Amino acid sequence: MDKVDTSKAWKQRLLRTHVSLGLLVSFVMYISVFFGVFAIFIPYIQVWEKPSRHIGSLSHTHIDYEKMIDQVLGDPAFPKNNLLITLPGTMNESALKVSHRFAAPLYFNPLSGEKMRDEGKQSYLAEFLNELHYGKMLNFDKEWFGVIGSFLGRFLFGFSAVGVMSVVLSGVILIMIFSYKKSFKTPRALFSTLHVKIFAWTFLPFLMIVLSGAFMNLSLISALPMAKLISGGKESRIDAIIGPVLFPKDEVRTSFNESAPMLSIAHLMVLAQKVDARIAFQTIRLINWKDKNAQVEFKGYDPYKPFLNGGVFNKPSVTLSAVDGTLITHQKVLERSWSVFFAEATFFLHFLFGVDVISRICVALLMMASALAIACGVLLWLEKEAKKFHEALPFYHWMSKIALSIMVGVLPATALLFVLQWLLPFEIHDRLLWQKGFFYNAWLGTLFWALYRLDSYRAAKEFLILGGALFVGASLLHLFHQGIVLTHGIFGWDLALMGFGCLLVYVGVKLPKKAEDIPLLWRKKEESV
């Protein structure tokens, strides 16, 4: 009898721990997952948001690189050696970028070879959504409160990710030791079923993605103290310690100071492809260009070896002589250490380097399902709290209002960001600050509206309809300003915004007038099936 009581008490403690810890981290995790869905599509948002990127595409071997390089070399303020060319199509970028570690990058239209005027932080929508994903909530031009807010946000999101892993693992154990029955008879049963069933299917990939995110976030935060600890106080940058392992230095190539004619970069690329046809080239480095000792390094991604290359630490490369095209070095994917592969796989899980749009959509749907499961978990707890009140009394709980604002109110606030992207003039001073201000005020406004509305369910329907209408409006505004642009997935993102907006409006309109009637919809569907 004692063993039975002990087992029952252990199960109850595990359930209470799961609920308590889940409530503690659920809101932060929901925000991270919600904006993480948009972060998955950053390569498409970053070209959608900038008018300068609405250009066509061209094969890499047909680009006139020399026309653009001559413009860069003719700029007295730009360094002449070790120029890095980022090819169009890398992370869906439509422009060709020429950069150097000691100078601001220059952007060119690969079709015409003309220099482009980059919008810079006048158009920062994609990066801002990504910052919201990992907790960089406040970042106002290095002001002290912005720096502190950014650090605290990343710290909170990082440790919340660790807490979520504990919640997921405890949830898996609870599913194994308890027999959960599928039921849609009451709102409480509906939320319980959705919470359990969705996470039963998605917990493994969700756990892997959260683990990689926690690893990256916390490692960046702890980089300074770890560098001090490992080096005995000699180094403050972790790069100085792990850099030689992850980024081994190439042999210094000295210039002969003798000019020589160069082969065309397009021709050199064809030669590099013959050396290793599997590499999809992403960058070109020009070393001692127009010198007798000039070399060209082509780096890229091998799609046949995912998880191991193409990200930050391991990029296969082919280095040729720019004078005669002879092979100098050929760096293959598997010629690195296990630590590089571990770091590369961790970053790949989160950044999806080299992944096509279909795979990104699948991961986004997985994360949207996980966000729904998190929301259902919070709603399940709120339903249990509501049972403590008499049915004649309306349930008005501060947690329900915060949950409503964070989980549903974020929809119209985010949609407003996309609307403002094409509503605010690009020439306006502090355009990014205006966008951020409108966004945070709109999100805070949803909390005030949630507190004002006695019926949270009615407010949720209003947020869904408003958010959907704004997403559709953002797509229409872009089409009005720029027309239909079929290249680089720009029109596809218009369709995605419009489809998502229509879905939100449809759900908001079709939901029953009373929350108690929601289970009836599921029962009708089951009966029809």
Which residue did the predictor score with more confidence, 286 or 120? Answer: 286
- For residue 499, what pLDDT is reported? 98
- Above pLDDT 70, what percent of the chain? 90
Residue 146 has pLDDT above 70, yes or no: no
- For residue 528, what pLDDT is reported? 53
pLDDT in tens, 183-194: 777 888 889 999
Amino acid found at 317: S
Domain boundaries, the chain: 51-118, 252-351, 389-529
Q: Which two tokens stand for residue 296?
A: 């060209």
**Residue spans of beta strands (DSSP E) within 302-444:** 317-321, 327-331
Amino acid found at 27: F
- For residue 387, what pLDDT is reported? 75
* H or E element that contains 281: strand 280-287
Residue 392 has pLDDT above 90, yes or no: no
pLDDT in tens, 376-386: 999 999 888 87
- For residue 234, what pLDDT is reported? 72
Lowest mean pLDDT, pick from 71-85, 196-210, 226-240:
226-240
Residues 219 and 161 sit within 8 Å (Cβ to Cβ)? no
Which residue did the predictor score with more confidence, 497 or 336? Answer: 497
Lowest mean pLDDT, pick from 134-138, 248-252, 357-361:
248-252
Classify 25 in phi/psi space as left (phi over 0), alpha (psi -120 to 50) or beta: alpha
Neighbours of 278 (CB within 10 A): 14
What is the fold of 252-351?
Nuclear Transport Factor 2; Chain: A, (3.10.450)
Q: Which two tokens stand for residue 163?
A: 């807490």
Residues 44 and 97 sit within 8 Å (Cβ to Cβ)? no
Name the band, by pLDDT with cuts 50, 70 and 90, for residue 100: very high
Name the band, by pLDDT with cuts 50, 70 and 90, for residue 523: low
Amino acid found at 330: H
Residue 140 has pLDDT above 70, yes or no: no
- For residue 436, what pLDDT is reported? 93
Which residue, among 348, 289, 294, 300, has the nearest Cα to 87 in the 3D structure?
300
pLDDT in tens, 9-30: 888 899 999 999 999 999 999 9
pLDDT in tens, 468-501: 999 999 999 999 999 999 889 999 999 999 999 9
Residue 526 has pLDDT above 60, yes or no: no
- For residue 28, what pLDDT is reported? 94
Q: How far is CA 316 from CA 54, 67, 87, 301, 334, in A?
A: 30, 27, 15, 6, 9
- For residue 524, what pLDDT is reported? 59
pLDDT in tens, 200-223: 999 999 999 999 998 888 887 777
Residue 150 has pLDDT above 70, yes or no: yes
Residue 452 has pLDDT above 80, yes or no: yes
Residue 132 has pLDDT above 90, yes or no: yes
- For residue 463, what pLDDT is reported? 98
- Above pLDDT 90, what percent of the chain? 63
**Mean pLDDT in the chain?**
88
- For residue 142, what pLDDT is reported? 56
- Determine the average pLDDT of the residues in 52-70: 94
* Helices assigned H by DSSP within 222-281: 223-231, 239-246, 265-275
- Determine the average pLDDT of the residues in 108-120: 93
